[in-house]
A = this chain, B = another copy of it.
């Protein structure tokens, strides 16, 4: 099937927001999603955007059962390694179920890599859940190293009251 990968425009945020919900449903964590398309518009399409996004689009004649032509997205941002320098972090990569197995995920991932290389990034990182075998196999087949398995990297998070408490104890300037 023909598909096109292109940079997301502000007008795509409703579609991206819909797919974020679909992905969280797949990951069984919809209760943790608390974002609106207005926030995506504000944070991704401002002066110094917090992220960049690519969308995959199919022609009108191949639209989804529900009538969607934007059928996948890759959302990523600049990051940095103090060992090797410029990096890209891929926050989400998603393709709607009925469009999987057609190379769209690979197209999105490759395009993120290409965009990164153009910015002189030497590394692309992402996280995946251990039970998500299709995704783990997909990335492994393309050469991803699993740093949690190989060197014991653990991902930690502060949020809510814990983050507030930290911030409140910051030393004065």
Contacts and interface: CB of A to CB of B under 8 A. Distances in A.
A129 B145 CA distance: 15
Number of this chain's copies in the assembly equals: 2
B124 A159 contact: yes
Given A110-B167, A167-B113, A170-B110, A127 B144 contact: no
Interface size class of A (residues with CB under 8 A): 35 or more
Interface in A74-116: 75, 77-86, 89, 91-92, 106-107, 109-111, 113-114, 116
Say what secondary structure dominates the interface of chain A.
Answer: mixed
Given A35-B84, A80-B77, A144-B162, A155 B127 contact: yes
B50 A48 contact: no
A149 to B, nearest CB: 7
Contacts of A128: 153-154, 156
Given A80-B51, A171-B5, A113 B156 contact: no
Nearest to A75: B82
B106 A130 contact: no
Return the 6 tightest CB-CB contacts between A and B, nearest first: A143-B162, A130-B152, A113-B166, A114-B170, A110-B170, A113-B167
